[in-house]
């Protein structure tokens, strides 16, 4: 059955958007997403989390389809538990970028997401996970972060705000990496030119869909490329001002089922 709106693809960020602060999904949100799929449209998770950290949430959603992970660096097929596409961040370039950032702002604390469906999140001494519910392995020194291929580097600074750290990183990293900010305490380096829009476009192509078919939800600056690509971008009430400035619509917060409010309106 065809979807009753112009949108055949609903792309949702997770943290601060679809998920509540305790990493759970509300019954209302689940029901709204079920309404989308029963209408013949597709729901696609588009998140900064790497594939291994997304798998349990896809189980909660009952999803056996595609998901865009790692800020667009991974297209994951939950049905067969494999990556259809992935791009890694060159580890030498990552080290060089970190050196340039620290030359400007002093010591930062770093973590990495390893590539692959079983990749680990490694954190160096001093790094605090912004999401304490997500598993991570602490290593003894920074050099240990580079033991396997990685999809991205996560950065924290003991004094600078996320906006300040991201702005400085963009100013010095240049073409070594793409700098994103995806949530509180989460400034990231990923392969140059890779954004959520990159992965979303590839996943949509797999599904035979495109920008004009897509309704997107998000809350942070890393969602801006996705909003630029999609036909309609909806920011949460709790969204970063930079995302609200480019959104087509602002809904209620993630705690108040903002996604469900919009989907209930559009998918009767």
CATH number at residue 241: 3.40.50.1000
Q: Is the pLDDT of residue 2 over 60?
A: no
Same structural domain, 97 and 145: yes
> How many helices and strands in the chain, by DSSP H and E?
8, 14
**What pLDDT, on a 0 to 100 scale, did the predictor assign at position 5?**
61
How far apart (Å, rounded) are the C-alpha atoms in residues 75 and 72? 7
Same structural domain, 232 and 256: yes
At residue 90, the 3 state secondary structure works out as coil
Output the average pLDDT for the chain. 94
Burial classification of residue 24, based on how many CB atoms lie within 10 Å of its CB (0-12 exposed, 13-18 middle, 19 or more buried):
exposed
User: pLDDT tens-digit profile of 98-116?
Assistant: 999 999 999 999 999 999 9
Q: Is residue 2 part of a domain?
A: no
Alpha helices in 62-210 (DSSP H): 91-105, 162-173, 196-206
Among residues 170, 188, 206, which one ends one of the domains? 188
Show the domain range for 175. 89-188
Backbone angles phi, psi at 85, to 5 degrees: -160, 140
Q: Which residues contact 174 (CB under 8 A, 6 or more apart)?
A: none
DSSP class of residue 222 equals G
> What number of CA atoms fall less than 13 Å from residue 120's CA on the CB side?
12
User: pLDDT tens-digit profile of 12-53?
Assistant: 999 999 999 999 999 999 999 999 999 999 999 999 999 999
High-pLDDT (> 70) share of the chain, %: 98
Closest CA to 229 of 193, 266, 197, 192: 197
Same structural domain, 242 and 216: yes
Q: pLDDT category, 133, cuts 50, 70, 90?
A: confident
Encoding tokens for residue 207? 């599904």
Same structural domain, 71 and 12: yes
Same structural domain, 77 and 93: no
Same structural domain, 136 and 175: yes
Domain count, the chain: 2
User: pLDDT tens-digit profile of 58-80?
Assistant: 988 888 899 999 999 999 999 99
Q: Is residue 206 part of a domain?
A: yes
Encoding tokens for residue 190? 């990923």
């Amino acid at each position: 059955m065809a979807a009753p709106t112009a949108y055949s693809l609903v792309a949702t960020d997770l943290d601060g958007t679809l998920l509540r602060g305790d990493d759970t999904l509300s019954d209302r949100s689940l029901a709204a997403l079920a309404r989308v799929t029963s209408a013949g449209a597709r729901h696609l998770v588009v998140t900064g989390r790497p594939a291994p950290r997304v798998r349990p949430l896809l189980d909660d959603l009952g999803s056996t389809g595609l998901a865009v992970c790692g800020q667009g660096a991974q297209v994951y097929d939950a049905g067969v538990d494999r990556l259809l596409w992935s791009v890694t961040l060159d580890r030498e370039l990552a080290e060089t970028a970190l050196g340039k950032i620290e030359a400007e702002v002093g010591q930062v604390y770093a973590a990495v997401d390893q590539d692959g469906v079983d990749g680990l999140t490694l954190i160096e001494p001093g790094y605090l996970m912004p999401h304490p519910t997500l598993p991570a392995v602490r290593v003894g020194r920074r050099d240990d972060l580079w033991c396997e291929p990685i999809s991205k580097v996560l950065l924290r600074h003991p004094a600078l705000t996320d906006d300040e750290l991201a702005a400085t990183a963009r100013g010095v990293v240049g073409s070594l990496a793409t700098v994103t900010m995806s949530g509180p305490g989460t400034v990231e380096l990923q392969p140059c030119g890779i954004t959520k829009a990159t992965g979303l476009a590839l996943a949509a192509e797999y599904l035979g869909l495109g920008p004009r078919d897509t309704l997107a939800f998000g809350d942070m600056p890393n969602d801006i490329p996705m909003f630029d690509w999609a036909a309609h971008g909806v920011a949460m009430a709790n969204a970063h001002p930079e995302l609200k400035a480019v959104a087509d619509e602002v809904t209620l917060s993630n705690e108040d089922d903002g996604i469900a409010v919009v989907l209930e309106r559009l998918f009767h």
